[in-house]
Amino acid sequence: MPALKSTVAAALIVLALGAPSAQTITVAMAQNASAPESAVIMSKNVEDEILGIMFDRGYIVSTAELALADDGFAAPNFAVKEAAFGMSDYLIAVNVKYGVDEIKDSEKNVSYAQILSLDWKLVRVSNPVILASGTVRPERTTVVDQDPYGDARRLIDGAYPSIEKALGEAKKGGIR
């Protein structure tokens, strides 16, 4: 019986050491302080889209609390502390800039905030360095229908190929 226990223990150790580990990513959203109330829901839609994409690709994802861009999105260490506490390998920080007025569509009975642009950056958490960044503007995306919340989700779809490419390069050691 002791031989069986030691064999099982050795097998578990080998499996644990040999098993590939998934990359962990924290998603941190920010928006401008002057945005209307409906912007929070739209930002959550963008965040949800990122979480879904990353989860479907096999990443372990978590989120940080929504911040106001006035709180330092431009700084290279924006939300890095939260990502480090979450033991994440990478941070995807997204800043959505909204117009100040809420738009009301009485025909569809919906209120929303106009997205002016979406800035993103991919940061390695272990030594906070921005690996890649970009901006997506709504006029550069195809509007499939007149659903502002769906359009908000599609904006991140325009940025994701660049994020995925940078993640792949970082995992291979190509981005330092």
Segment 47-66, tens digit of pLDDT: 999 999 999 999 999 999 99
Has residue 15 got a pLDDT over 60?
Answer: no
Mean pLDDT of all residues in the chain?
A: 81
Please state which of the ranges 26-35, 74-83, 141-150 shows the lowest mean pLDDT.
141-150
Q: Which domains are present in the chain?
A: 21-172 (3.40.50)
Q: Whole-model pTM above 0.85?
A: no
Secondary structure in 3-state letters for the chain? CHHHHHHHHHHHHHHHHHCCCCCEEEEEEEECCCCCCHHHHHHHHHHHHHHHHHHHCCCEEEECCCEEHHHCCCCCCCCHHHHHHCCCCEEEEEEEEEEEEEEEECCCCEEEEEEEEEEEEEEECCCCEEEEEEEECHHHCCCCCCCHHHHHHHHHHHHHHHHHHHHHHHHHCCCC
Give the pLDDT band (50/70/90) at residue 17. very low
Between 72 and 142, residue with greater pLDDT: 72
